[in-house]
Amino acid sequence: MDADNVLVAADWASRFSHPMVIATIKDTIRLHDMVCSGDRIVVAVSGGPDSVCLLSALHALSAELGISLHIAHLDHQFRGAESSEDAAFVAELSHRMSLPASIEKIDVPAYCRERGLSAQAGAREVRYAFLHRIARSVGASRIATGHTADDQAETLLMRIIRGAGTSGLAGIPPVRGSVIRPLIRVTRDDVLDYLRVAGLSSRSDSSNANTVYLRNRIRRDVLPLLRKFNPRIVETLAREASLLRDEDKALRALLDERLPAVCFREQNRVVIQNNSFSGAPPALKRRIMRHAAELAGRDPAGISSVRIEEALAFMAHAQSGRSMHLAPGIILAREYDRFLVTTAAVQGAVRRELAAPGVTSVPEFGLDVCIRGLEQGGAPSDKNYRWQAVFDYDKIRAPLTVRNRIPGDRFCPAGMGGRHKKVHDFFIDEKVPRLERDRVPLLCAGDDILWIIGYRTDERFLALGGTERRLTIGVSVRDANNG
């Protein structure tokens, strides 16, 4: 921290001190090794009570902990003028604290419509992607969010109601990757008391009163009823979640040696080997299924225990080629002697023109395609490639595109002496699962297929010994958990 910010933080600490809350936050940070001296922390600030308390407390502790803060606020554009006023409030707060801030707006309702997501799921995806992007841009090692003990208790109750298994009942982790939650042991009543003592204002989110959301109904109706039986129900539930998290970690450790041979990522799908899976005890099978969902990019706590049991029943009897939905957008399919967990097939025709040279993102297939500049001559390249191929530029008609298959597609697989083959038949011979076939990207030049990406090139277009101008194209598969 520079000298000016140290003075501001020290002044803030002297004026806005709340010993109990500050002590709890310090103890939580120490217990979970949340920060190190010299860290830059992105603080997610919505303007609500929890995030204002988080920002104020971390600011008061910044000199002692040796950390610097950067505020991040995202206007989701769900609430019109109210959202804009939240952004203005956070901007004023950053000015008062002399802290840098990144304040942006993204049309999250449009994002949800395009992807068929609920408002809550879409907002979460966009929000965390935004926070990670800001962290990278400012060189921050941690992202702090304002989840409290009440959020923990509400989450535990939600998952009990829906059924989530022991992993889900572990609740919200204090640390997940670069995300830290210093308020996770602080109750909402303590947050409000902190703001009162500090004389700090905050914004209220009108959507929190909308009882269409289960969390809001639990907050409004269930927790007040439970408090009649246990006045400290929030602390009790948060403590139970912590105990279950320890149990979950212990079982995960026992599974670590067994899991890689049973369940693993392969290209853009997750494979479960049936011969290893079928003999496992039911408890381990459930764990493996949640692990598979996690590898596929889905929060395993969001899959109900009922759905897991349905999946296990399906896996016990399914024939090759049969499938079911494990979760929205996630498919579990039996293919020969294994099961595949994949995202749902691409909806509709996809055709994306590629920058040449340059890198083009193709989100429909989870790919980035890199086309290098032209190279002169070189050694023959009449080989099959998985993620990189070299073509004879003079045999190619621009523009280059990536698309999914269409009926009647044909190409000349490298190594078959120039014989044409239907793409459909090629997929069958290569044992490409039926549910995967529409998700396999094809690199094309005009109507010609140059490359079934990840599988086989068309030998007619490969760079050979006499090639004068060579074009190298590489593909990288995005991490399913990116952001």
Q: Do 313 and 387 belong to one domain?
A: no
- What lies within 8 Å, CB to CB, of 416 at 6+ separation is 459
Domains of the chain: total: 3
Q: Which pLDDT value is given to residue 407?
A: 86
Same domain? For 25 and 140 the reply is yes
Q: Does pLDDT of 2 surpass 60? A: no
Confidence category of residue 284, pLDDT binned at 50, 70, 90: confident
Identify whether 237 is part of a domain.
no
The amino acid at 165: G
Domain of residue 91 covers 3-146+181-209
Residues 455 and 384 placed together within one structural domain of the fold = yes
* One domain, residues 362 and 473: yes
Residue 160 falls within a domain, yes or no? no
Residue whose tokens read 């320890």: 246
The residue among 29 and 19 whose pLDDT is bigger is 29
483 in a structural domain: no
What per-residue confidence (pLDDT) applies to 212?
62
Q: Residue 232, exposed/middle/buried by CB under 10 A (0-12, 13-18, 19+)?
A: exposed
Q: Is residue 225 part of a domain?
A: no
Buried (b) or exposed (e) across 16-28, using 16+ Cβ within 10 A?
A: bebeebbebbeeb
pLDDT digits (tens, 9 = 90+) for 347-359: 567 888 988 888 8
Domain assignment of residue 384, yes or no: yes
8-state DSSP, 430: T
Question: Mean pLDDT throughout 398-426?
Answer: 88
Residue 118 inside a domain? The answer is: yes
| 416 falls within a domain | yes
Domain termination site, one of 343, 368, 393: 343
Based on the fold, state whether residues 293 and 192 are members of the same structural domain: no
- Asked whether residue 28 is assigned to any structural domain, the reply reads yes
pLDDT of residue 346: 56
One domain for residues 292 and 435: no
What is the rounded distance in angstroms from the CA atom of residue 50 to the CA atom of residue 43?
12
pLDDT at residue 415, rounded to an integer: 81
pLDDT at 145: 96
Of the pLDDT bands very low, low, confident and very high (cuts 50, 70, 90), residue 36 is very high
CATH number at 336 reads 3.30.465.60
> Which of the listed residues 291, 326, 343 is the one where a domain comes to its end?
343
Spatial neighbors of 197 by CB under 8 A, at least 6 apart, are 16, 18
> Omega into 399 within 30° of 0, i.e. cis?
yes
Whether the per-residue pLDDT at 448 is higher than 80: the answer is yes
Cα–Cα separations (whole angstroms), residue 280 to 73, 263, 288, 414, 448:
46, 12, 10, 41, 47
Domain CATH number, residue 117? 3.40.50.620
Examine the domain organization and report whether 129 and 274 are in the same domain.
no
Same domain, 317 and 406: no
Distance CA 184, CA 235 (A): 10
Residues 320 and 279 in one domain: yes
Q: Is 56 in the same domain as 94?
A: yes
Q: Which residue has the tokens 């490359």?
A: 451
Residue that finishes a domain, picked among 343, 377, 392: 343
pLDDT above 90 coverage of the chain, percent:
37
Same domain flag for 333 and 185:
no
In this structure, the answer to whether residues 388 and 294 fall within a common structural domain is no
Residue whose tokens read 């996770």: 184
365's CB contacts (< 8 A; 6+ apart) are: 268, 346, 350, 402, 404, 439, 441
